[in-house]
Structure 1
Amino acid sequence: MSQALEQVVAELRNSLGTIGEIVGISESATPRFELFHAPNSICSQKVRAVLAHHNIPYRSHQLNIFEGQTYLPANVRLRLMGCIALGGGLVTEHTGSTSVSMGGCDPAVVPTLVDWETGQVLVDSKRICFYIDQTAADGAALRPAHLQNAIDAEVAFVDNMPNYQMLAGKPPGEDHRPESRRKGNGVGFAMSKVERCDHYLAQFADDADLVRGYSAKRSKELNAAQQLFTPEAMRAAYDKAEAGCNHLENKLKSGDDWVVGDNVTMADLYWGVELLRMKNMAVESFWANGAKPAVAAFVDKVESIPAIRASVIEWPGAMY
């Protein structure tokens, strides 16, 4: 086991002031997986859903996004380990989605999974979800081989939805989002992240790794503030989200019980988490009142999936 990894994880635990809570029934005091995540992070919710589906115990550390805990130096160091292993470079621009494949690796976000059995640090929620599913031994694969291509296509589709813009930016027309999200138009939220990076860049000016990490994150959020929240960009984001619901409506009319096939797959977990976020952001008009009956029925079904209930609906702080 890498001593450097043990030291960074110990530092992050210390920064958070906790050794973490074990979620699920574990036969060991030290579960194989250790997850650094946030209740309201849509990417974290996907990972928690896959862990819950397989009943895999893990040590849980919850970071507070709004208090800036994802910017803690130890979290950035841990993320950089995962970014290096992932390859592809650090993020420099913000696409509006959470997709690492589209934007690059972000060193100051969640989730991050540590596999103590193999000594790996995994970043990118999609990669983490696939990894967990591949290591699960219960036979309930969320990506069965004969459906894998179709499932992966849906996962990729959801992974590129404009979640950040819909969360932080002012929607076109009347703003029906939760009261806590109506205070700004997204620019201030992004610029607060730039300022946080500036703080740490000044504090750790002699640490090349942290300078690299905070500089990448600063570039991403400055780009977001400049590009993502104009009325035109927000209109495009909401159009893209509605087009996603149109796509799903057509998929659900194929005759299968679920998005791909007749059993719950990773496609259902991904779409389920996505639609619950849309519902939470008060954009049910995409499918309500007969607009997309198959999607509306799917949302009702999703809310009964045990893994979704455990990881999102009943998880404290997961909904805004």
Structure 2
Amino acid sequence: MPIRDLEAMVRGARRQLGRPPEPIGSLQGDGSARFELFHAANSICSQKVRVVLAQHDMPYLSNAMHIGAGETYLPEYVRLRMAACDLAGLPLVSAHSGSTAVGTGGCDPAVVPTLVDWQTGQVIIDSKRICIYLDQAAPGAARLRPDGLAQAVDEELDVVDGLPNYQMLVGNAPGTGRQASSPNAGTGVAFAMSKVERCDRYLAECVHDADLQRAYRAKRAKELDAAERLFAPASMQAAYGRAEAACERLERRLATSLAAWLFGDRPSMADLFWGIELLRMQNLGADAFWRGGARPRVAEFVRRCEAEAAIRSAVLDWPGALY
């Protein structure tokens, strides 16, 4: 993408947010940074990116967005996302998988995170893609996804990426002892329909803009599908079943590791992704999956993750990150 076009889109997104980006870490002498991040405190995908940035001590410009206020739907931000989706050759969303994975759901033009690399003039979307991109910019010895372990790490990333965290966040948890503590619990249909209504408003406002029409129609279809399918009791039962099966898989995987983490004595990207997801489950009251001796290795893994400096700074101590 021509750098002037990128600069114009980023300026437009900043202008609609109505606040300048906040520097995180030690910026260059002129106040610039290689990376600029559009993200949200309580977005689990944003948390993954912030953890990788923190782990590598990479400074960046932070554009914090408020999901509840609908800031990820602002037209100039959506235009930036659409450019990234199109440049990556990713199809737009049309249905909701229950997870946040681009590979199963398509490219969503109205979510976070979005990373701008001012050094290369690239815009990258999807948390897994962003984290891998950032990791490749780090020195080889410090990488969280070393070449020799890339395939094994990616297998774990794919499992985590496919977890039904959206359903668990706003749906009714099935069964005693699994009641979600999020203030949004049980509001799934209303929550999804509020997004449909927001898309309708922007479709009416941007009627002559073909790119934005394409974006908001795709997002509307996704959220309408979520409202119609994802939050029925059977769907929620299946979602929690998938999450518990993933925890059981992790318990078995940890049993085969002779080190403190999945692939050695220091955390990999897989460990960080798993840690963030498990801490979200714990925050929502879904720690019955491992509480009380049910899965002791997972319980110990969660305790180790809570002590990790990058997870603490990017999630546990980040204002507004927890529900």
After TM superposition, give the deviation of residue 4 of structure 1 in Å: 1.7
After TM superposition, give the deviation of residue 3 of structure 1 in Å: 1.6
SS of equivalent residue, structure 1 residue 181: coil
8 Å Cα contact 2:49/2:127 also seen in 1 = yes
Matching of residues 213-228 of structure 1 within 5 Å: 213-228=215-230
Instruction: Show CA shifts across 1:193-239 (max 9, x none).
Output: 00000000000011000000000000000000001000000000000
CA distance in 2, matches of 1:21, 1:75: 17
8 Å Cα contact 1:54/1:138 also seen in 2 = no
Does 2:38 match 1:14? no
Structure 1, 274-283 or 17-26: larger mean CA deviation: 17-26
User: 1:188 and 1:279, CA in 2 relative to 1: closer, same or farther beyond 3 A?
Assistant: same
Aligned residue among 274, 277, 296 for 1:274: 277
Structure-2 residue corresponding to 1:240: 242
After TM superposition, give the deviation of residue 86 of structure 1 in Å: 1.8
Structure-1 residue corresponding to 2:322: 319
Matching of residues 22-101 of structure 1 within 5 Å: 22-28=23-29, 29-101=31-103
Structure-2 residue corresponding to 1:170: 172
8 Å Cα contact 1:97/1:162 also seen in 2 = yes
Does 2:309 match 1:310? no
CA distance in 1, matches of 2:244, 2:144: 26
SS of equivalent residue, structure 2 residue 47: helix
After TM superposition, give the deviation of residue 87 of structure 1 in Å: 1.3
CA distance in 1, matches of 2:183, 2:169: 11
8 Å Cα contact 2:172/2:179 also seen in 1 = no
Instruction: State the AA in 2 paired with 1:56.
Output: M
TM-score of the superposed pair, with normalisation by structure 1:
0.97
CA distance in 2, matches of 1:71, 1:129: 23
SS of equivalent residue, structure 1 residue 91: coil
CA distance in 1, matches of 2:264, 2:175: 37
Does 2:263 match 1:260? yes
After TM superposition, give the deviation of residue 272 of structure 1 in Å: 0.4
Instruction: State the AA in 1 paired with 2:67.
Output: I
Instruction: State the AA in 2 paired with 1:263.
Output: R
CA distance in 2, matches of 1:293, 1:173: 22
In structure 2, runs of 5+ residues without a counterpart are: none
Moved over 6 A (4+): none
In structure 1, runs of 5+ residues without a counterpart are: none
Instruction: State the AA in 1 paired with 2:15.
Output: N
TM-score of the superposed pair, with normalisation by structure 2:
0.96
Q: How many residues align?
A: 319
CA distance in 1, matches of 2:312, 2:105: 30
After TM superposition, give the deviation of residue 139 of structure 1 in Å: 3.1
Identity %: 55
